[in-house]
Amino acid sequence: MQPLVLTIAKRDIAQWVGALLESGKVIAPVRGPCGEAAFCRIESPEEPLWEFENPLAPPKQFLLPQTDPIVAIRRNGGVTTVAPIYDDAPRILLNVRPCDVRGIAFLTRMHEMEPADASYLRRRANFTLIALACHVPCRLGFCVCSDSGPFLSGGYDVQLTDLGERYLAETGSEKGEAAIGHASGLFRPASEEEVAQRQRLETVARGRFGDQTCHFASAMRRISTRRVDDALWEQMGDWCLECGGCNFICPTCYCFSVKDRGGDGRWTRCRMWDSCQYGAFTLEASGHNPRAQRGERMKRRFFHKVSAQYYVRDGATGCVGCGRCIKVCLGGTDMPAVVAAIRRRAWHEQ
């Protein structure tokens, strides 16, 4: 299938969003009551933001909710029935940034591994991803270091690029073509100049990254070959306040625990976000904890994110360079800081 490369005028965009709203639930970044951008289900075509800093909470909440009912359990007399709960509602994720598209790809790859997770995959199968490329990199992003942006080369259903007066729309799938098909009259094929302009914007954007860089390759060599001193992990562990924010905010983190709630013969089994940085995450019933120390837990987290062993399995680092952990981490043990410490063989000097 040949991808379509089209454009749409900015003045027509609301009309397109209106058509999308008729085909399913649309989730997009909107301006929240406290002034910040947040992913939210929209009701009207004017709501989505088109120029915004990527919301602090990634769209993960819509694919893998913090509290996710997955099994309904019923007991009637002596008979217990167990039925999976699926969410098959069609959803369109509009104006999702490249890093978050890569994050969703990472989550999907994990949930496809055997045993495949039908709860996640059925929800994911009904999602259409309409990405908005970043022609201006965000302040703390370093997606360019993990090949997750600022523009996507695949993995999207539609990728939009802001050309000034118009948006360029590249389709990446049949779902993407369908999304455009809801209002195909608003689109016209892109000119050669418009395609060239998109390429120029990507080149310029790649050169405009800010303060954050993250040299994964050298950190990966050290982590994968156990050449990071335990003393360094222990020292960095002293700066971790065990909030779990790095996990919850990370577009690629998916660890969970399972809890049942209900009573009187009806229960719901829920999947709930969990954090590998919590002491009790690996606590065993005997009281033994294989990762009792903060440093050990941090080592585990970064091994999963940055080691060659996992890179081979997952086909990507477990970091899409969105920079959100820099904002949420209470102690400053975010991805770029830890990667830098590993390369330097020292945490910050005092």
Partner 1 sequence: MVSTATTCPFCACGCGFFLLAKNGEAAGVAPGESHPVSAGKLCARGWCAHEAPSWGSRLLRPMIRRNRRLEPVPWNEALDHVAGRLRELIAAGKPVGVLGSARATNEENYLAGRLARAGLRTNHVDFCYHSQCRPLLAGIEDVTGGSTRPIALRDIESCDAVVLVEGDLAKTHPRAAASVLKARTRGARLIAIGCARTQMARVASRFLQVAPGSEGEAINALLAAALRAAGEEKQAARCAGYDALRGDLQAVSATDEIREAAEWIAAAERAAFLIGPSAGCGDASRKTAAVIATLAAVTGHLGGPGSGLLPLLGRSNARGACDVGLAPDRLPGYEPIEDGEARRRVESVWGKALPSGAGLDADRMIENVSGLVVLADDPAAVLSAGQRARAAIERIEFLVALDAFVTPVVEAAHAVLPVASFAETEGTVTNMEARIQRVRPAGPLPGDAVEGWRALAELSARLGAGGTWNSAADVFHEIERAAPRYGGTAARIFDGGWGSALTEMPEAVRFNVQAAATQELTTAERPFVLAWDGAFDWGGDPLVSFSPTLSRDSQSERKLFPNGFVEMSGDDADALGVRAGWQVKLGSARGEAIVPIRRRDGLRRGTLLAPYAFRDCLAGVLADEGITAVQVERA
Binding partner 1 (rule: CB under 8 A), the pick from 18, 24, 45, 332 is 332
- What is the SS3 assignment for 277? coil
Binding partner 1 (rule: CB under 8 A), the pick from 11, 75, 261, 266 is 261
Least Å distance between CB 36 and partner 1?
5
CB atoms within 10 A of CB 10: 13
Q: To which residue do tokens 């009701």 refer?
A: 43
Q: Please give the residues from 110 up to 149 whose contact with partner 1 meets the rule CB under 8 A.
A: none
* Distance between CA atoms of residues 278 and 293, nearest Å: 10
Q: Should residue 232 be labelled a site residue for partner 1 when binding is judged by CB under 8 A? A: no
Q: Lay out the site mask for partner 1 across 290-329 (x = CB under 8 A, - = otherwise).
A: ----x--------------------------------xxx
Encoded tokens for 111: 């949930």
Binding partner 1 (rule: CB under 8 A), the pick from 59, 172, 244, 336 is 244
Cis peptide before 251 (omega within 30 of 0): no
Q: Should residue 238 be labelled a site residue for partner 1 when binding is judged by CB under 8 A? A: yes
Per CB under 8 A, the segment of 30-38, 99-107, 141-149, 303-311 that binds partner 1 is 30-38
Q: Please give the residues from 46 up to 75 whose contact with partner 1 meets the rule CB under 8 A.
A: 56-57, 61-62, 65-67
Q: Considering CB under 8 A, how many residues would be counted as binding partner 1?
A: 44
* Distance between CA atoms of residues 255 and 274, nearest Å: 6
Per CB under 8 A, the segment of 157-165, 190-198, 275-283, 307-315 that binds partner 1 is 275-283
* Distance between CA atoms of residues 51 and 13, nearest Å: 14
Q: Please give the residues from 2 up to 21 whose contact with partner 1 meets the rule CB under 8 A.
A: none
Contact 143, 322 (CB under 8 A): yes
Neighbouring residues of 248: CB distance < 8 A, sequence distance ≥ 6: 66, 273, 275, 328
Per CB under 8 A, the segment of 155-163, 186-194, 277-285, 303-311 that binds partner 1 is 277-285
Of residues 158 and 250, the one with the C-beta less far from partner 1: 250
For the chain, counts of helices (H) and of strands (E): 13, 12
Q: To which residue do tokens 């410490």 refer?
A: 341
Dihedral angle computed from the Cα positions of residues 281, 148, 98 and 64, in that order, rounded to the nearest 10 degrees: -20
Least Å distance between CB 348 and partner 1?
6
Contact 161, 167 (CB under 8 A): yes
Residues in contact with partner 1 by CB under 8 A are 32-36, 38, 40-41, 56-57, 61-62, 65-67, 238-239, 241-245, 248-249, 257, 259, 261, 272, 274-275, 278-280, 283, 287, 294, 327-332, 348, 350
